[in-house]
Structure 1
């Protein structure tokens, strides 16, 4: 049973996206996401082999996706983008269609995308504490 006083996760993943991430991990090794909200594919989450995208103090670690592997998939966002999205829960999903050429799923005819919802008042209060 989840702890009702624990802060909610900021990120989640659909089962379809988790299946793809397991397959991509087999091809590329450990993976990571970065959500910049800027160039290339707009606000699509970009998936890279872990470490291929250089992070800095300008990035915020939102959490790790549990995709059923030994290691979770870390999700990062630029601090500037986080200022706008800090009140939302993000779920990484996958849909058919070409995304950005830099993201590892692009050659498979699918692309990752973000589905979002506002945190409830109770969730927001837990995040602030």
Structure 2
């Protein structure tokens, strides 16, 4: 269920994925091999994780890379990161339509972000890792 991390084994990952999300990622990559996620901050699609072809989305200077899921990078805006930095984001899938510009649109399943608050020990390990 985890992502990939270059930190110590004791450092929790900031983003992980459920099996259903990994399966939908693999399906999307059959059509679009190079994709990324950006955790939306609201507006039209609420706060859905948006999935884009790498060439169709420009990462901003203030975007924060949370980690990777099966080699797919996951980003969030700096302001959202401040609000969510105490929370592990869990990429999941539910029935429905994806965001208008997201690659999960039209697949009758959409990505959804769930959250879990880090423990005190996990937060200490994240602080130590920088």
TM-score (norm 1): 0.89
Q: State the shift of 1:5 in Å.
A: 5.9
Aligned to 2:13: 9
Distance between the aligned counterparts of 1:116 and 1:15, measured in 2?
Answer: 16
Q: Deviations over 1:21-59 (max 9, x none)?
A: 111001111110001312221110000112311112110
Q: State the shift of 1:9 in Å.
A: 0.4
Is residue 19 of structure 1 aligned with residue 23 of structure 2?
A: yes
Aligned to 2:100: 101
Alignment root-mean-square deviation, CA:
1.5
Q: How does 1:10-49 map to 2 (within 5 A)?
A: 10-49=14-53
Q: Secondary structure at the match of 1:106?
A: coil
Q: State the shift of 1:89 in Å.
A: 0.3
Would the aligned equivalents of 1:5 and 1:126 in 2 still touch at CA under 8 Å?
A: no
Q: Secondary structure at the match of 2:44?
A: coil
Q: 1:63 aligns with which of 31, 52, 67?
A: 67
Number of positions where the alignment pairs a residue of Structure 1 with one of Structure 2: 122
In structure 2, the gaps of 5 or more residues are 1-6
Q: Deviations over 1:56-111 (max 9, x none)?
A: 21100000012xxxxx1100000011010000001100111113111001111111
Q: State the shift of 1:4 in Å.
A: 7.3
In structure 1, the gaps of 5 or more residues are 67-71
Q: State the shift of 1:115 in Å.
A: 0.8
Would the aligned equivalents of 1:63 and 1:75 in 2 still touch at CA under 8 Å?
A: yes
